[in-house]
Structure 1
Amino acid sequence: MKQYLITGMDGTDESALERRMSVRPLHFEKAKALKASGNFVLGGAILDDAGKMKGSMMVVQFESDAALKAWMAEEPYILGQVWQQIEVKPFKVADV
């Protein structure tokens, strides 16, 4: 499977945290389904110096770029416009 590092940075407007919190339960539900299917490797929130969430990172794996794009088309943080800047990079988890 191909692995990817997804970095999603939240918006900086005054509604950004509210948008994140409103779709967070659905984001977690989808992440649990990804984990059950073997597509979720690792993920978590990116924090600012005050400990406030300002983005997310995920390492995911899919059979193809098309499967990655299909997942992204349904990711709640993308659909809910929580992530305003999204970066996708090929990734390889170290086998140590």
Structure 2
Amino acid sequence: MYFVVRGFDRPGSLDVRMANREAHLAFVKGGPVRLHIAGPLTDGEGQMRGSLLIFEADSEAQLRDWLTGDPYQKAGLFERVEIDAFKWVVGAPDSK
């Protein structure tokens, strides 16, 4: 199953994001879930204010459990995290 994960940064937390960025990137590239797309959400001036990722996992529970180890999560970067099941239609890895 595919899942879209959106993490919204706490106000004024760019320093937390930058201090944990390399560890976060290494974390999301490994593990029992497969990362397909990832990148920062930005404001109108290009300032990072959150994250958007698309994962493939066996279940939402598996993904949620795994994400507790994300360095961003551990550092308290996110004000909130939203996870939605996603039916990937256009451009999906298994589409022909």
Q: Shorter-chain TM-score category?
A: 0.7 to 0.9
Output the CA distance in 1 between the equivalents of 2:79 and 2:46.
Answer: 19
Letter in 2 for 1:81: G
Letter in 1 for 2:22: P
Letter in 2 for 1:3: Y
TM-score, scaled relative to structure 1: 0.85
- Corresponding residue of 2:38: 43
Secondary structure of 1:29's aligned partner: helix
Q: Would the aligned equivalents of 2:33 and 2:63 in 1 still touch at CA under 8 Å?
A: no
Superposition pairs for residues 10-21 of structure 1, below 5 Å? 10-13=9-12, 16-21=13-18
Output the CA distance in 2 between the equivalents of 1:77 and 1:84.
Answer: 11
Give the superposed CA RMSD. 1.5
Superposition pairs for residues 61-72 of structure 1, below 5 Å? 61-72=56-67
**Matching residue within 57, 65, 81 for 2:76:** 81
Tell whether 2:1 aligns with 1:5. Answer: no
- Which structure 1 segments of 5+ residues have no match? none
Letter in 2 for 1:51: G
Secondary structure of 1:50's aligned partner: coil
Q: Quick check: 65-74 or 2-11, which moved more?
A: 65-74
- Which structure 2 segments of 5+ residues have no match? 90-94
Percent identity over the alignment?
A: 25
User: Measured at CA, do residues 38 and 74 of structure 1 come closer, stay the same or move farther in structure 2, by a change above 3 Å?
Assistant: closer
Q: What is the number of residues matched between the two proteins?
A: 91
Per-residue deviation, 1:66: 2.7
Deviations 1:32-56 (A, max 9, x none): 225xx66101110111011110001
Letter in 1 for 2:78: W
